[in-house]
Amino acid sequence: MTNWEFSLDCARKLDENDELRSYRSHFFIPNFSGRESIYFTGNSLGLQPKKVQSYIQKELDDWSKFGVEGHEKAQIPWINYHEIFTHDIQKIVGAKKKEVVVTHSLTTNLHLLLVSFYRPTKKRFKILCEKKAFPSDQYALHSQIELHNLNPKDCLDEIEPRNGEEIIRNEDILSRIQEIGEELALIMIGGVNYYSGQVFDMKNITKKGHEVGAFVGFDLAHGVGNILLHLNDWEVDFAAWCSYKYLNSGPGGVSGMYVNERHVDNPKIFRLAGWWGHNKKDRFQMPDQFNPIPTAESWQLSNAPVLSMAAHKASLDLFTEVGMKKLRKKSILLTNFMEFIIENINENSSSRLEIITPKNINHRGCQLSIIAHGFGKDLFEELSKNHIVVDWREPNVIRAAPVPFYNNFEEIFRFGEILKNYIK
Ligand SMILES: *Cc1c(COP(=O)(O)O)cnc(C)c1O
């Protein structure tokens, strides 16, 4: 980092040395008023891989050709369509084959997993989560508690940053787990916080949770395809994610879930049943008794949404081709460069752009959350006017996520230029 400069030259050199630079051309970069945008919102909706159209078209062709027989005769038979993801997804989240399944949507999957892993008793009934969790997760947790005729006020323990701080300290999470002790039924945290970009210490949270006898699950909406995950090594009990953020699989795209191997064939883990979770051998003999597949697939209720899965496959093929290690390596450089640029702007002006995302690269993914002290939405509008797409949170937080697949160093330089000139 030492020889970086806030210059176009430096940015272009970094781009030249980037072994993944050609992957940008695999994506459609949105145009605004005829100009290519600088798209830093892959944390919200990833860009479209160019191959998506042909993958979906293939399924449309098979559907028009075969009708119902496509379930067997399509090039990728629809009956088992979800199975094509096992290999790709397993690598991305660090799991075993039997621990993952791609199905439904994220909040739905969270509910299905909570039904299995939140089984409160008189003694053990609390859920630990982060304060200001993503709203859908908050609603899901509240309603799951109410489903058991309990009161969220008594059951939900929300951990927050210390006074005057923006980031929750891992040590505070660990000591809170210890304090709640045997009343703790479940820990459910966003592995990467959507607002601050903070990555939680999933390994040690899981370890501590297990020490007090709780289940531990993570919402990985902002983690998957962003940071390196080792769910099986960390012995995480369950996780779920969506595919349309860093996984670039299209709006409302299909979700994925992980259930640790200890649980997948444990009949004591209750799961809501549907026909696609039933043993494949006699599924179509339609037996009365539900007989779950001894893998994470048994959480799957319905047959595969093939069209949205085709988009997912087009994107995951790119992930498999490149691998998370290389993506993460570039991601760290991009985000460090963005941080460098912002610090440089601060040093050379009276502006106060405060990055609330942790500085330690092990505690963040690609997203930086920046508080623009003294500025309001006008700053966001200035960025938009210059075709820079970032995310704005009232009153003054910018979230910018340089994504290794399609963003480059020159874009970060240009973003810096606009910021510097506006803010000075
Ligand atoms: C994006 C996101 C969601 C979205 O849920 P959907 O069911 O896909 O609409 C939920 N939780 C978190 C933490 C997210 O970041």
Residue 283 lies inside a defined structural domain of this protein: yes
**pTM surpassing 0.95?**
yes
Predicted pLDDT of residue 71: 96
Residues 316 and 350 in one domain: no
Calculate mean pLDDT across residues 148-160.
Answer: 97
Residue 409 CA to residue 407 CA, distance in Å, equals: 7
Nearest CA owner, ligand 1 atom 13: 134
Q: Is residue 240 part of a domain?
A: yes
Last residue of a domain, one of 287, 321, 355: 321
Q: Quick one: 327 and 375 in the same domain?
A: yes
Tell me the CA distances in angstroms from 320 to 88, 179, 221, 384, 405, one per residue in order. Answer: 6, 42, 19, 33, 12
pLDDT tens readout for residues 6-36: 999 999 999 999 999 999 999 999 998 889 9
Are residues 108 and 212 both part of a single domain? yes
pLDDT at 76 over 60: yes
Are 14 and 162 within one domain?
no
Assess contact for 413 and 341: CB atoms under 8 A: yes
Q: What is the CATH number of the domain that holds 402?
A: 3.90.1150.10
d(C-alpha 161, C-alpha 75), whole Å: 51
Ligand 1 center–CA 221 separation, angstroms: 6
Same domain flag for 359 and 383: yes
- Identify the pLDDT of residue 2: 64
Tell me if 194 CB under 6 Å of ligand 1. yes
Closest atom of ligand 1 relative to the 255 alpha carbon: 8
Q: What is the pLDDT of residues 371-383, one digit of tens each?
A: 999 888 899 999 9
412 and 268 share a domain?
A: no
User: Which of these, 203, 170, 226, 165, lies nearest to 367 by C-alpha position?
Assistant: 226
Q: Does residue 402 fall inside a structural domain?
A: yes
Q: Give the relative orientation of helices 52-66 and 306-322 as an angle to the nearest 10 degrees.
A: 140
Q: Whose CA is nearest to atom 1 of ligand 1?
A: 221
Q: Which of 41, 44, 106, 193 to mutate to test the pocket of ligand 1 (most atoms within 8 A of CB)?
A: 106
Which ligand 1 atom sits closest to the C-alpha of 222? 15
What is the per-residue pLDDT across 382-400, written as a single tens digit (0 to 9) for each? 999 999 999 998 889 999 9
Do 188 and 234 share a domain, yes or no? yes
Q: Is residue 1 part of a domain?
A: no
419: containing domain: 8-46+323-423
Residue nearest to atom 2 of ligand 1 (CA): 221
Looking at the fold, whether 30 and 169 belong to one and the same domain comes out as no
In angstroms, the CA 47 to CA 40 distance is: 10
Q: Confirm whether 3 is domain-assigned.
A: no
- Tell me: pLDDT of 364 over 70: yes
Residue 417 belongs to a domain: yes
**Tokens at 395, concatenated:** 């009153």
For 397-424, the pLDDT digits (tens) are 999 999 999 999 999 999 999 999 998 7
Query: How many distinct structural domains can be found in the chain?
Result: 2
* Closest ligand 1 atom to Cα of 137: 11
- The string of pLDDT tens digits covering residues 155-204 is 999 999 999 999 999 999 999 999 999 999 999 999 999 999 999 999 99
Indicate whether 127 and 227 sit together in one domain.
yes
Does residue 2 lie in a domain region? no
